[in-house]
């Protein structure tokens, strides 16, 4: 079993889900008392969010690159960034280490293509929805990406940072997300990407009649596959 290096804490609410699901899947695969071999470095999200809001992605990349290097030195065989947004600095992180980094957009694109879907709606932070670092990765796999309108993106982002990252799950916010999802479907989306690792705390597969791609669980499942050499 390979050792998974987890860069977490962005937010810790979703990092908990990574840790839980990875261990559940290893137990399911191997049985008995088996659990995952993993190292978790949980950062202070207040620091990282400050760099995000200032647009200082270089500094954020330096911090997370140092974290990845610590995981490599600690014995990790590969690295998983437990957040969609910070894949914006994936090249800065990868440049600090010699071990592989499992990209969340690549694992998600593979799952979407498995289902023969060519057009998806994307929910996430404003950085993920508006900038190209994530969308272009999906589009390079032949997947068309549709995002909410300006006002909806602002509210979707606000709910992530002001509620979900703080562990607050409200029915009114779930209803709003469901309305946004319906709008994306009406705009031609055949499925919906939960492109922020906290959104799965709010939206479940049963909240839509169309396929829901929860990046947290897709990413975590592929980490297990990589750990078990599957």
Question: For residues 69 and 5, what is the distance between their CA atoms, to the nearest angstrom?
Answer: 10
Question: For residues 95 and 68, what is the distance between their CA atoms, to the nearest angstrom?
Answer: 10
Angle between helix axes 150-162 and 171-186 (nearest 10 degrees) is 150
Question: For residues 174 and 136, what is the distance between their CA atoms, to the nearest angstrom?
Answer: 28
In the annotation, is 83 catalytic?
yes
In the annotation, is 108 catalytic?
no
Which residues make Cβ contacts (< 8 Å) with residue 117, sequence separation at least 6? 143, 190, 191, 211
Q: What are phi and psi of 150, to 5 degrees?
A: -55, -50
Q: Which of 38, 82, 196, 215 is catalytic?
A: 196
Between CA 211 and CA 218, with CA 215 as vertex, the angle to 5 degrees is 85
Q: Which of 38, 82, 83, 108 is catalytic?
A: 83
Closest CA to 195 of 109, 114, 125: 125
What are 101's strand-pairing partners? 79
State the catalytic residues. 83, 196
């Amino acid at each position: 079993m390979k050792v998974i290096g987890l860069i977490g804490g962005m937010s810790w609410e979703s990092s908990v889900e990574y840790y839980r699901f990875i261990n559940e899947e290893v137990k399911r695969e191997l049985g008995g008392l088996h659990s995952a071999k993993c190292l978790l470095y949980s950062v202070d999200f207040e620091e990282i969010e400050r760099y995000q809001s200032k647009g200082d992605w270089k500094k954020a990349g330096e911090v997370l690159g140092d974290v990845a290097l610590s995981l490599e030195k600690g014995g990790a065989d590969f690295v998983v960034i437990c957040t969609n947004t910070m894949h914006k600095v994936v090249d800065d992180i990868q440049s600090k280490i010699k071990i592989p980094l499992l990209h969340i957009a690549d694992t998600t694109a593979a799952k979407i293509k498995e289902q023969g879907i060519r057009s998806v709606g994307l929910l996430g932070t404003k950085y993920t929805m508006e900038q190209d670092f994530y969308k272009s990765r999906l589009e390079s796999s032949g997947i068309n990406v549709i995002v909410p309108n300006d006002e909806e993106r602002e509210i979707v982002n606000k709910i992530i940072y002001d509620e979900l990252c703080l562990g607050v799950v409200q029915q009114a916010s779930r209803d709003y997300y469901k309305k946004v999802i319906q709008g994306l479907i009406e705009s031609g989306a055949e499925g919906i990407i939960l492109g922020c690792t906290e959104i799965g705390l709010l939206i479940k597969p049963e909240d839509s009649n169309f396929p829901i791609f929860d990046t947290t669980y897709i990413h975590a499942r592929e980490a297990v596959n990589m750990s078990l050499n599957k």
